[in-house]
Structure 1
């Protein structure tokens, strides 16, 4: 699951958040406000919010271990052709490409199921594409929804 989007896609709106778990709620509130203003379908809003939450949880939890620079996380709502919505998440943490994460193994029983490790799989389910680039000292993760009509 990838896309040929470039980091130069026009930006419609941006939000910078702290690298804290509490700031993830600020990001989903921001997306919710945009969704309401633009009348996004409920399923699209839900899938994008969940995907952004999962991506940000990974960034906040792991990206800044051992990094000397002040943590930075920015979300950009991207201008896309067609009936899709794109969100770019930019951070200055350690390099991590979630598009290379293998799908977790399906357990034989509920008792054998592991907690965690399913965030990228959830994103793949709700998104049309998920793309990653490392540009300089920044991770750029681009999430693109399925068309608004589906």
Structure 2
């Protein structure tokens, strides 16, 4: 994951109201690289899910904690890395739910526990790193750079 191609970063507070600010910031990169609407949707959804998980579960909905998002483009992929100092949590270790049923539509999905499956489905790549004092989740989205 070469960070030498870093484009920009955004610092957030651990409040759910900050999620929309992160999504607007990400839209600026989508504009810069001519990202299609389908990929824009995936980026918005994945940022919302990942940040909400950090805030709700990692920081237990307690404000005042720093979350840093970095964004860069490498070849034909737009990357977003979320760094936090919340409880250590590797999403790769979380097993998918095995309740014997598969949702047939968005309306049939039960609330809760769907964030990681959504990330796995909508992000082109997911990578987790344990940092000396926290976590880094990097999500990649395939784009056509013009």
Q: Shorter-normalised TM-score: what interval?
A: 0.7 to 0.9
The 10-residue stretch of structure 1 (32-41 or 140-149) with the greater mean CA deviation from structure 2 = 140-149
Query: 1:131 aligns to what?
Result: 127
User: Offset at 1:145?
Assistant: 1.2
Answer whether contact 1:9 1:79 (CA < 8 A) is retained.
Answer: no
1:74 aligns with 2:51: no
User: Offset at 1:9?
Assistant: 4.5
Moved over 4 A (4+): none
Answer whether contact 1:133 1:139 (CA < 8 A) is retained.
Answer: yes
* SS of alignment partner, residue 85 of structure 1: strand
For the structure 1 residues 9 and 55, does the alpha-carbon distance in structure 2 shift closer, same or farther, using more than 3 Å as the test? farther
Flag structure 1 segments of 5+ consecutive residues without an equivalent. Answer: none
TM-score for the superposition, normalised by structure 2? 0.84
* SS of alignment partner, residue 88 of structure 1: strand
Counterpart of 1:98 (choices 91, 94, 102) is 91
Instruction: Give the RMSD, CA atoms, in angstroms.
Output: 2.3
Distance 1:85 1:28 in 2: 14
Distance 1:34 1:61 in 2: 26
1:121 aligns with 2:117: yes
For the structure 1 residues 122 and 113, does the alpha-carbon distance in structure 2 shift closer, same or farther, using more than 3 Å as the test? closer
Flag structure 2 segments of 5+ consecutive residues without an equivalent. Answer: none
TM-score for the superposition, normalised by structure 1? 0.82
User: Offset at 1:89?
Assistant: 0.3
| 1:2-41 Cα deviation digits (max 9, x unpaired) | xxx26x4531011011100100010001111221232111
User: Offset at 1:102?
Assistant: 1.5
For the structure 1 residues 84 and 114, does the alpha-carbon distance in structure 2 shift closer, same or farther, using more than 3 Å as the test? same
* SS of alignment partner, residue 39 of structure 1: coil
Answer whether contact 1:19 1:60 (CA < 8 A) is retained.
Answer: yes
Q: How many residues align?
A: 139
